[in-house]
Amino acid sequence: MDFVYADRLQQLPPYLFAEIDRAKAEALQKGMDVIDLGVGDPDIPTPAPIVEALKKAAEKPVNYRYPSYAGMLSFRQAAAEWYQKRFDVELNPQTEVLTLIGSKEGIAHLPLAFINPGDIALVPTPAYPVYHIGTLFAGGKSYFMPLLEENNFLPDLDKIPSDIAQRAKIMFLNYPNNPTAAVAEAEFFEKAIFFAKKNEIMICHDAAYTELYYDNYKPISFLNLPGAKEVGIEIHSLSKTYNMTGWRIGFAVGNPSVIAGLGKVKSNIDSGVFQAVQEAGIIALRSDEALVEANRKIYQERRDVMVKGLREIGFDLNPPKATFYLWVKVPQGYDSASFCTRLLKEAGIVVTPGSGFGEPGEGYFRIALTVDKARLEEAVERMKNIAL
């Protein structure tokens, strides 16, 4: 018997990365040697001290029981300490920090706490799909803020109609940005905070990539700015910083009422992060910065190899200051999908069509630097051989 999906599922576009996995699987079935630059999943192992901490914590009987939905206080304290050390932002671990089952979970659940059917969320585009999907699941409507090259891939808040701004409940931001690799400075965040206060809008800043930066550039936290904690929260993840994507652990920090609302949703939907993972997360957050710096060096080398190779082919791009993504214009004569299809079929290279992240992403493709240097060099050679 076939059952009809709920309307909320029927509204959804095909999930971008599921489509990529399907196309990749087809190529592999044909025996093709595929170089996967499609999904932002680190290939570098989780640092050994973190893994060892998990092993020890997994042997503790106390950790076999249901964890707190809010997270262990000791983990929240470690997150607050990390924010103080990294960003000079002071947080109360009791009321201003909430443990998440990865940042994706927190982003998706936030609209359930604050969006009523018909309410508006301000959603960047191109963007990580979950901002829009979480809004839809809550019965809300997305007003899309285009991220355009001429505006340094920052939303133009002045172009948001006043009636939309007055109806909006949440604005999602993400810097350093996925997929464009753009960064935001204090001036932009100050403007966003002013806009949010004026229109009584909550800001949710997805800060998953703040620790993947290069050339001595150091991203700031949204919460560094005066008034930020009055209007919103920031969501961070251990996934990219410590190569822990599969561990599913992150945290939200900031405005206590927002943290409490998100926590109320979580208390009714999930049962928290396995405490052994939280114990390992504490070791990660309190670890030597050298662990993260080693990551940055690897990704910077990969970035430089790929930027150099693409320029030799004829692509015009600047090295990104942060993230492990390259956001590249497709060659003339292609749209995003046709170019990415050709790369997969003729060169065995998986990249992500920019159009999959939203309409303004048409004309671009995204490369994830999540394979080793030798494979990136091979990818460049394959691209040269198909005469783009």
CA distance 190 to 6: 40
Beta strands in the chain (DSSP E): 35-36, 97-100, 120-125, 141-146, 168-174, 202-206, 232-237, 250-254, 325-329, 349-350, 352-353, 364-368
Considering the entire predicted model, what is its pTM?
0.96
Backbone torsion region of residue 226, taken as left when φ is above 0, otherwise alpha when ψ lies between -120 and 50, otherwise beta: beta
pLDDT in tens, 143-188: 999 999 999 999 999 999 999 999 999 999 999 999 999 999 999 9
Q: Could you say which of 248, 263, 285 is where a domain stops?
A: 285
Examine the pLDDT at 9 and tell me if it is beyond 90: no
Structural contact between residues 124 and 103, judged by C-beta atoms closer than 8 angstroms: no
Single-letter amino acid, residue 107: I
Asked if residue 314 and residue 185 are part of one domain, the reply reads no
**Based on the domain organization, do 105 and 156 belong to the same domain?**
yes
Provide the residue range defining the domain that includes 341: 7-45+290-385
Q: What is the pLDDT of residue 11?
A: 84
Residue 10: pLDDT band with limits 50, 70, 90: confident
Give the C-alpha separation, 376 to 385, whole Å: 14
Q: Nearest 5°: phi and psi at 185? A: -105, 175
Q: Domain check: are 92 and 139 in the same one?
A: yes
Q: What is the mean pLDDT of residues 48-67?
A: 96
pLDDT tens sequence across 16-43: 667 677 777 887 888 889 999 998 899 9
Percent share of the chain, pLDDT over 70: 98
Q: Is 254 helix (H, G, I), strand (E, B) or coil?
A: strand
Pair (71, 12) in one structural domain? no
User: How many independent structural domains does the chain possess?
Assistant: 2
Task: Write down which residue in 285, 314, 346 finishes a domain.
Answer: 285
DSSP 8-class letter at 343: I
pLDDT above 80: residue 14? no
CATH number, domain at 200? Answer: 3.40.640.10
- Give, in degrees to the nearest 5, the angle at Cα 288 between 225 and 373: 95
Q: Is residue 1 part of a domain?
A: no
Q: How far apart are CA 210 and CA 178, in angstroms?
A: 11
Residue 85, domain member (yes or no): yes
DSSP code of residue 137: H
Name the region of 248 (left: φ>0; alpha: ψ -120 to 50; beta: rest): left
* Same domain, yes or no: 103 and 149: yes
Distance CA(85)–CA(74), nearest Å, equals 16
pLDDT score recorded for residue 85: 97
Residues 118 and 198 both lie in one domain = yes
Examine the domain organization and report whether 36 and 56 are in the same domain: no
pLDDT at 28: 81
pLDDT of residue 15: 65
Question: Does a structural domain hold residue 344?
Answer: yes
Q: Are residues 84 and 16 in the same domain?
A: no
Domain C-terminal end among 285, 306, 337: 285
Q: 45: buried, middle or exposed (CB in 10 Å: 19+, 13-18, 0-12)? A: exposed
Is there a single domain that holds both residue 163 and residue 299? no
Supply the pLDDT for residue 16.
Answer: 63
Q: 205 lies in a domain? A: yes
Helices 130-137 and 103-114: crossing angle, nearest 10°? 40
At residue 22, the pLDDT reads 78
Q: Are residues 174 and 254 located together in one domain of the fold?
A: yes
